[in-house]
Amino acid sequence: MNYQQGSNNLNPGSGGPDRPRRTGRNEYPQGSSNLDPGSDALGMPGRAGRNEYPQGSNNLDPGSNGQDRQRRAGRNASAAKKTLFGMDIWKVALIGALGVVLIWAVVSIISRWVVPNAREKQALDDTRALVGATLAPGETVPAPAVEATIAPTAIAVVTSEPLETAEPVQAAYVTSPPGISPNVTARVTYNGLTYSPELLDDYVALYAVNRDMGGWIRVRAIKNIDFAYVRGRNDYYITHDFYGNENVNGTAFLDETCTDWPRDKNLLIYAHNLRSGEMFGELNRIASMKVIRANPFVDCDSLYEKGVYIPVAVLICAVDAAEEDYFDFNVSSFRSPEVFDAYIARCRELSQVALDVDVDYSDELLTLVTCCDDTGTRRFLMVCRRLRADETEESVLAKYFR
């Protein structure tokens, strides 16, 4: 009860000895650990030395002030080596790597899409400018040095309705040396006879540039589909433009199994589905009755005759026979009316729009084909039939699209 305030109360001893301990404890300098004060004389220097540690010292092994400064200076130098532009080295490396990836992506996009699209657009504009162009007598236009346009193209054709007999037809489109004059036509050999269908004036200049010129396709409801198509090797024109320049966008081409003179029952024209909207990039817009009713007509001219078509079906189908929506659409001729009717029935079954345009075996078909997904397993088709001799655009509009 008589212990003095501040005593540890464990071993008070007498008031006299206990008081000095407590007094000494109370006299420890502020901040002392109070564990082993020793005498004031000895304890003070230790505390004083501790107080003299330079700011930032860890106070564990002070040594001299000079040594402590050197340790701190070393740490500062090490920190300086690990930074650049005020950032840690790893951050700078990460930003650099991201920058390289970004530059690579931009260059890839430009080289893969922007430049080819610009070239394709220029090629399309050039061909459009040549439509209807005339050549002066004797004037020639040099053809590009392209394998597909220099070598004569021999096309074996089998038609269901031959011009003279039921025998297979052997047709050869004969190419002349580079450069032609307006009186030169493409000749066709049929059953030992030579026919020279006269070229349409609109396409003489284009045929002079590229002997694989096949004709012109225009979907009136879609502004971008208005360009020339070629006839030749599929694997060539899928990666080359009309002028023979290598281009991932390719150009529109008549399937190499088809022939337009004598004409097959079904002409199939292929083109890429481009993100830019060029070629058949916007063909899928026709899968709308609103768009079709606005203007349902498709113009497809060969080198020899003009043709106007109307849609029968607009569909998406699989190219894998194991798929439920598989359709073997790549058929240019039909063995019988029954085969033809089955083909049309499958088109209507898969069609995304209900079109009641009547079709019979005597009609001529036109099918536009493009890819419609990134996997390449499906195709978008627009199947059309040609206007009949007794039909006009006005009568067709009134009968089917009003």
The per-residue DSSP string of 227-281 comes to EEEEES-HHHHTSB-TTS-B-TT---EE-TT--BTTBPSEEEEE--B-TTS-BTT
Phi and psi, residue 378, nearest 5°:
-135, 155
At residue 288, the pLDDT reads: 96
How far, in Å, CA of 386 to CA of 382, rounded?
A: 13
As a whole number of Å, the CA-based R_g of the chain is 44
Amino acid at 312: V
Burial string for 378-395 (b: 16+ CB within 10 Å, else e) reads bbbbbbbbbbeeeeeeee
Task: Specify the CATH architecture of the domain 116-400.
Answer: Beta Barrel (2.40)
Q: What is the pLDDT of residue 191?
A: 66
CA-nearest of 258, 172, 256, 175 to 211 is: 175
Quote the tokens at residue 146: 């392209």
Return the pLDDT at 312. Answer: 98
- Phi and psi angles of residue 178, each rounded to the nearest 5 degrees, phi first: -50, 135
pLDDT by residue for the chain (402 residues), tens digit each? 454 555 455 454 445 555 444 444 555 455 544 444 444 444 444 444 445 545 554 554 444 555 555 555 555 555 555 565 667 777 777 888 888 888 877 766 665 555 666 766 777 777 877 786 665 544 555 433 333 332 333 333 333 333 333 233 233 333 333 333 334 455 666 666 666 678 888 998 898 889 899 999 999 999 999 999 999 889 999 999 999 999 989 999 999 999 888 899 999 999 999 888 889 999 999 999 999 999 999 999 999 899 999 999 999 999 999 999 999 999 999 999 999 999 999 999 999 999 999 999 999 999 999 998 878 899 999 999 999 999 999 999 999 998
Strand partners, 173: 153
What is the length of the chain? 402
Whole-number pLDDT of residue 153: 34
So what's the pLDDT on residue 373? 83
